[in-house]
A and B are shown apart, each in its own frame.
Chain A
Amino acid sequence: MSKKFFIRIVFGLLLTLSANAATCSKSYTLGFFNGVWNTEYESFDGTQAVRGLIGNTYNNEPVKYESFYNHTGSSVGATSLQDLAETFIQRANEIDKSGQMGKRFEYFWEFLGSSEPTFLDKLAGFLPNAASLFDSVYTAITTKLTSIISFFLSNPPTEADYTSHNARLDALATDGEKLMLVGHSQGNLFMNHAYDHILPVVTKDRVAAAHIAPASPTLRGNWVLADIDLVINALRIQGVTSVPNINLTIPASKVDVSGHTLSGTYLDPTRDGRGRVKTMIETGMGKLKNSCGHLEYRIIITDHDTIGGEVYHNIGSYLTIPSRDEVITALGYQDWTPVDWDASYVLQYHYDAVTSKSGYYLITNYDALVSASYLKENLPHGPLDGNWYFTEISKLYYYRVIRYVY
């Protein structure tokens, strides 16, 4: 088979060790997705700040908070934060030929907006023309931030970046959690993927999304974007038309010159953003429903490809299978091969009923899978263009089988 027609296929199973037990979880998990230049420390702070906003209970049910951290790079061999630091050093050395400011990274954090500019304010008290000098650095940093976001919009994260986030979402879904996903800045790109990953599993009954300062071309829920957000609004000026409309008008503040940070702007208790974010998240949580009842399994199509230009199967369509045994019978589990976490394939969690071992596996016995009559006869299919095509199971699709609680 030519490479053109054989791309790759991974059938995956997500089966849990407690498949026989009915689950009736009555709690929320709020997952927070940080901007990619944030440190883990800042991500924890952001998650905890959201906890302070929503509280440990909602509708008399517990709310747990999890930080879905990402710190990917915006150029080869460097993280986004390293790129920003280089910009700081260059600009600081331009306005201070002695190099003293460029060596003092406390000013980097202030120009970035991660910290209040208390030191810069003190310097301004000594230096009459400080404001104009500092403005040039602020502008350079904001421009760099915007270019980093643009880079991510055209070079989105890879599956490898999402792997552990996906696995955690699968586990939470299996536990019957109601999932409230909150993204800030570029974290919205990661959150969108997380939402798309888990939606077929839990449906809109158990997952909702909220976007804060979304740097994402598409949205999965309500959003809040401030008029003073220089970073996101700069994208619009640059011609990135997919940036959502401004829907929050608040006064500017010296605390966060960028108008973009989570705590400094959007959760600032002295301005209206905080209340709007709280309402947005609680509205999302209010739509979620408890998941109690017996278990079933679904084969879910999570990716698609084409044969000769034709598109088969909608992402997110699924086939319900009543028991784990039937899943195993249908797919043929005998040729599972353990693979490394970092492999570029879509990996899924699998429980081997024979060996009682669980872990991440890559199915290599494609022929056994393709010949699985259960799938051939029952897998729903449909093209993305609204027309129907033939139903043959090909080797060009990704599937997941998950335990589903309803």
Chain B
Amino acid sequence: MKKILTVLLISFSVAFLLSGCRVTTIEQAIMAAESNGSIPRLNHDNTITGPDKDNNGIRDDIDAYIATLPYTEVQKKAIQQNARALNTTLTVDKTDKTALTDVSTKLVRAVVCIHDKFQDGTTTASKLISENEKMTINTKNRFIEYEKYNSARSGSVTRLPDGDTCE
């Protein structure tokens, strides 16, 4: 059923664009941008983690998006490490302090790794980090779960690791 609805939505969007109609609403603009690929079509289902068919710890739509980025394989691996680490904040038991610390360690290592791989004198690493957060935490359900993690970590102190933190 979901597939049918998606096909219908895409068909309507394409038909809308081909018809030459002016875009007059935000909804139409979203459909048009997602249809022509200028904005990635992200998963917005009600689940916390979303689909991960290859079971690599990264949501499939984000996996596909990372593959399109114009970076080296080493850099893409750093981006994937961030995507995986951020996903674990959604699934970790928020009452298990040891587990929370483990997730936080993964997160900080991913951050240090991506900065290490994008030492280009710009803020590219920070932009990729915020983009990862924006695309992963992209529904209210996921946001609520993410907030539980951040609240559980409030008051913590974390030292940035040294050396190679990439996986």
| Interface set of A (CB-CB < 8 Å, partner B) | 31, 39-42, 44-45, 47-49, 51-52, 56, 64-72, 79, 81-82, 85, 89, 95-98, 100-101, 103-106, 108-110, 114-116, 118-119, 122-123, 125-127, 130, 133, 161, 163-165, 168, 263-264, 267-269
Contact = CB atoms under 8 A, between A and B. Distances in A.
Given A45-B130, A114-B133, A115-B131, 13 more contacts: A41-B129, A45-B125, A56-B162, A64-B160, A67-B160, A71-B151, A72-B154, A98-B26, A105-B137, A109-B137, A114-B134, A126-B28, A127-B26
Given A42-B133, A105-B143, A115-B134, A126 B160 contact: no
B156 interface: yes
B2 interface: no
Nearest to A161: B155
Given A39-B133, A41-B107, A106-B134, A100 B123 contact: no
Contacts of B104: 40
Residue among B108, B137, B147, B150 with the highest chain A CB neighbour number at 10 A: B150
Contact of A95 (B26, B140, B151): B26
B33 A123 contact: yes
B108 A44 contact: yes
B29 A130 contact: yes
A110 B131 CA distance: 9
Given A98-B26, A122-B33, A82 B133 contact: no
18 contacts: A39-B133, A41-B89, A41-B107, A45-B111, A47-B160, A51-B115, A67-B160, A100-B26, A100-B27, A105-B134, A116-B127, A119-B33, A125-B38, A126-B28, A127-B24, A164-B155, A263-B127, A268-B123
Nearest to B157: A168
B138 interface: yes
B84 interface: no
B130 A44 contact: no
Interface string B130-167: 11011101111011101101110111111110100000
A79 B155 contact: no
Contacts of A51: 115, 160
Contact of A39 (B32, B144, B150): B150
B79 interface: no
Given A44-B160, A51-B160, A104-B138, A126 B23 contact: yes
Interface of B: 23-30, 32-33, 38-39, 42, 44, 86, 89, 104, 107-108, 111-112, 115, 119, 121-123, 125-127, 129-131, 133-135, 137-140, 142-144, 146-147, 149-151, 153-160, 162
A123 B29 contact: yes
B151 A79 contact: yes
Nearest to A66: B159
A63 to B, nearest CB: 10
Contacts of A100: 26-27, 30
A42 B115 CA distance: 13
A66 B162 CA distance: 12
A70 B150 CA distance: 9
Contact residues of B: prevailing secondary structure:
helix
Contacts of A101: 26-27, 30
A110 B134 contact: yes
Given A45-B111, A67-B157, A263 B138 contact: no
Contact of B111 (A48, A82, A103): A48
Given A67-B157, A85-B143, A52 B115 contact: yes
A82 B137 CA distance: 13
A82 B134 CA distance: 15
Given A79-B151, A269-B122, A42 B130 contact: yes
A109 B150 contact: no
A191 B4 CA distance: 54
Nearest to A95: B26
A163 B154 CA distance: 11
Given A40-B150, A44-B107, A48-B111, A65 B133 contact: no
